[in-house]
Amino acid sequence: MSEAALTPRAEQTRAAITEAALGLFRERGYDAATMRAIAQRAGVSTGNAYYYFSSKEELIQEFYTRNQAAHLAASQEVLASQTDLAARLAGTVRALVDVQMPYHSFAATLYKHAAEPASPLSPFSPQSSPARVAAIDLYREVISGSTARMASPVREQLPEIMWLYSLGITLFWVHDSSAGCRKTYQLIDATVPVIVQLISASRLPVLRKTLNDLMGVVDLLST
C-alpha cells in the first residue's frame, strides 16, 4: 500500500506492523517470523498485516528504507564537522555499522537471502532501488563536502564505489563475532586511508588505466 495514501491512523498501524516484524526478526530470525506472528505482535489481523505488506520481503524493504534514513541522520554530525575525505568516509561507514548493530542477531539469515541474485532482498534488485539510490546519494554528499581533489571520472563514479565498499563492510560485519564487532570498526579504520590514497592518486597518469578498469566494473554492476 502506498504510504502517500495513508491516513494518520493507517500510518500508526503500518509502523506498528513494521516494529513488530523487526522485533520478531531479532528474536526468532527472518525465516521463523511468520506474517501471522507479526500480525499478532502488532495487534492486528493477519489480513490487515497483508493489506499493508504483501509479504515479509516488503517488510524487509521497509527495514532497508528506515535503516537508510537512520544512517543518513547518524552521518550528519561528521558531515557537518569534517571536510577531510578520510574522516567523512570513515565516520559515515562507522555510522552505518552503528545503526545496523541492533539487528546483528538476524543479519546472517537476512543476508543469506539477500545474496541470492534473483531475490527481491538483494541490494541490487529493483525492489531495493530506493534504498540503494539514497545510499549512493549519501556517499555523493561525503565526496562533495570534502576538500579532496580527484580526476573527474573518478568523482562521477566514486559514490557507487563507496556504496559497494559499504556492502563489503556490511558483509564482514554480518560474520563478525568479536566483542561489539570491534574487528569491523578496525577494518574500516584500516581500509579508508588506503581508499583515500588511491583516490588522491587518480590524477596520476600511471594509475589512470587501472582506475578506468575499475570504473568499468562499477558500470557493469550498475546495469
Q: What is the pLDDT of residues 107-144, one digit of tens each?
A: 888 888 888 888 899 999 999 999 999 999 999 999 99
Whether residue 95 is found in the same domain as residue 173: yes
Whether residue 189 is found in the same domain as residue 206: yes
Q: What is the grid cell recorded at 53? A: 505488506
- Counted domains in the chain: 2
User: Domain of 38?
Assistant: 1-54
Q: What is the grid cell recorded at 223? A: 546495469
CA pair distance 199, 193, nearest whole angstrom: 10
pLDDT reported for residue 2: 46
Whether residue 141 is found in the same domain as residue 117: yes
Average of per-residue pLDDT values in the chain: 88
Whether residue 218 is found in the same domain as residue 182: yes
Whether residue 44 is found in the same domain as residue 132: no
Q: What is the grid cell recorded at 164? A: 559497494
Half-sphere exposure of 154 (CA within 13 A, CB side): 20
Q: What is the grid cell recorded at 7? A: 491516513
Query: Bigger pLDDT: 99 or 218?
Result: 99
